[in-house]
Amino acid sequence: MVTIAFKDLAKSTAASRGMPLERICFTPHPVWGKTDAEMYAYLEGNDPVSGKPLMKEVTDALTQPLTAEEEKTGQVEISMGPAVYTDTFENLQQYYLDNGMTDFMQIVIPTEEKLAEMLKGTSHKPDEIVGKMSPARGSYPDWTFNVRQVAINAVMAGAKPEYLPTILAIAETGLTSLSSSTNSFATAAVINGPIRDTLNMNYGIGAMGPFSQPNAAIGRAWTTLSRNLSNSGIPGQTYLGTLGNGVNYNNLIIAENEKNSPWTPLSVQKGFKPDENVVSVFVGFSISQGQGGIGLGVKPVPQYHEAIAYNCIPFGPLFGALIVCDPLVAQGLVELGYKTKEQLADWLQKNSLISAKNARSTLFANRWVPDPKTPDDSMVPYYQRADAYNFVVVGGQTNPYHMVANMSYRVSISIDKWA
């Protein structure tokens, strides 16, 4: 049984899992939030795809003998299309766009010449396998890709050869930037190490905005390669985000402002050395402003920790918290006694509380709820572990602001290994 909103997804997933004729019956959408009577009316009504009585279809699906097609076995190879396309510049732009290979903006046409130039950015062989990726791990087949294929996508995104190791490291994470989820997820990549300066990445004023070629092109390449190397981003089939997310254009690329941070770089927290170049990836709902937090107006010292806790209240428990602080905020927090990121995480975990009743009523509460014996009015930690909180310092110190992202840390990958 699948709701009609996921018709194409259900059929394509069944096909990709080897059961193209799986007997799927459809209900109207949504079922969530409907009354008993409304649900029952769905069952008494027709399947919106076939137009036939729904429960007759359900019982028939269980009792009608299998056809020869339904009993088939064997292997089906999947075509990936022609190796090259030859045409004028304008027609090729249209071709890549029409065939869903772009982010709907003009690309750099990936010719053999441009690919050869891009591949100078890595010592690795073009046919070396980089990794696997899917629109949602476990829900779709993983596609495999090599250095050459990542480099083609880097060309398309406007990257320079020296960006390629960072893009390869992002690709190796296997995390698509175009998650299939109905939630319209966003992704973030935090970059640490000397490569931030080598590439002239922006970690000062406007660090997360469109003001730097490496930040922009690396982020765009993540989406281009997600689309082409994992089949992510086909609306209705491999992308179901109901609202969509503008962050997906080139993602949150955050080169940590290590020079002006009083804290340990994120990569070092994750076990790397300070001189190693590392990308750490996050996924979650999105990022939002932090200026509205309580405590920021307290004089003479703004209570940044209170503001961060307040700004995380709307967070869904499906993901943790990525707190992005201008260096002025980080320095202020040190003055308030939070000498390390870990100390701040520990305070937030203990002091960001929600009533057990509210926790139980939170979306996704079917996956995380306090112990049933906990009284409704008891206050419980929003997150069960302090490491649900991660912090990155970035920005140009024009004002002591922070942003909060309802995102979870996934993995850190060495950039150096792809040099």
Partner 1 sequence: MSPALIAGASAEAKDKAVKVAAGPVKLTGLNPKGVAPPVQLVPMAPRLSTLDGKTIFLVSDGFPGADHFLDQMATWFKKNMPSVTTEYRLKAGAFPDDDPKLNAEIKATGNAVIMAIGH
Among positions 92-151, residues that touch partner 1 (CB under 8 A) are 92, 95-96, 99-101, 109-112, 115, 133, 136-139, 141-145, 149
301 and 335 in contact (C-beta within 8 Å)? yes
- Tell whether residue 377 is a contact of partner 1 (CB under 8 A): no
Interface pick for partner 1 out of 57, 122, 147, 152 (rule CB under 8 A): 152
Shortest approach of partner 1 to residue 328 CB, angstroms?
Answer: 39
CB nearer to partner 1: pick between 89 and 372: 89
Interface pick for partner 1 out of 58, 268, 369, 379 (rule CB under 8 A): 58
From 10-18, 196-204, 325-333, 394-402, span contacting partner 1 (CB under 8 A): 10-18
CB neighbour list of residue 401: distance below 8 Å, 6 or more residues apart: 289, 290, 291, 326, 329, 395
Site for partner 1 in 197-226 (CB under 8 A): 224-225
CB nearer to partner 1: pick between 134 and 352: 134
Q: Which two tokens stand for residue 194?
A: 């000397």
- Tell whether residue 363 is a contact of partner 1 (CB under 8 A): yes
- Tell whether residue 287 is a contact of partner 1 (CB under 8 A): no
From 209-217, 232-240, 298-306, 375-383, span contacting partner 1 (CB under 8 A): 232-240
CB nearer to partner 1: pick between 172 and 326: 172
Shortest approach of partner 1 to residue 202 CB, angstroms?
Answer: 27
CA distance 224 to 107: 10
CA distance 196 to 191: 7
357 and 377 in contact (C-beta within 8 Å)? yes
CB nearer to partner 1: pick between 79 and 297: 79
CB nearer to partner 1: pick between 59 and 289: 59
From 31-39, 244-252, 258-266, 308-316, span contacting partner 1 (CB under 8 A): 31-39
Q: Is the peptide bond before 165 cis (omega within 30 degrees of 0)?
A: no
* Number of residues forming the site for partner 1 (CB under 8 A): 99
256, amino acid identity: E
Interface pick for partner 1 out of 192, 237, 248, 349 (rule CB under 8 A): 237
Q: Which two tokens stand for residue 267?
A: 């990569």
Interface pick for partner 1 out of 17, 120, 259, 339 (rule CB under 8 A): 17
Interface pick for partner 1 out of 176, 184, 223, 231 (rule CB under 8 A): 231
CB nearer to partner 1: pick between 224 and 352: 224
x/- string (CB under 8 A) for partner 1, residues 155-184? -x-------------------------x--
Torsion angles phi and psi, residue 391, rounded to 5 = -130, 140
CB neighbour list of residue 75: distance below 8 Å, 6 or more residues apart: none
CB nearer to partner 1: pick between 55 and 419: 55
Shortest approach of partner 1 to residue 216 CB, angstroms?
Answer: 19
CB nearer to partner 1: pick between 15 and 298: 15
- Cα distance between the two ends of the chain: 48
- What is the full DSSP assignment across 362-413? STTTTT----TTS-TT-EEESSSSGGGEEEEE-S-SSS--EEEEEEEEEEEE
Site for partner 1 in 390-409 (CB under 8 A): none
CB nearer to partner 1: pick between 178 and 279: 178
Query: Which neighbouring-strand residues pair with 188?
Result: 252, 282
CB nearer to partner 1: pick between 1 and 353: 1
In whole angstroms, how far apart are CA 301 and each of 140, 199, 392, 400?
50, 36, 21, 11
Q: Is the peptide bond before 126 cis (omega within 30 degrees of 0)?
A: no
Shortest approach of partner 1 to residue 331 CB, angstroms?
Answer: 39
Site for partner 1 in 63-82 (CB under 8 A): 63-66, 70-82
- Dihedral angle of Cα 163, 160, 150, 188, to the nearest 10 degrees: 50
Interface pick for partner 1 out of 47, 103, 153, 412 (rule CB under 8 A): 153
Site for partner 1 in 238-257 (CB under 8 A): 238
* Neighbour tally for 66: CB within 10 Å: 10
CB neighbour list of residue 378: distance below 8 Å, 6 or more residues apart: 355, 356, 370
The candidate with the shortest Cα–Cα distance to 168, out of 255, 101, 229, 251, is 229
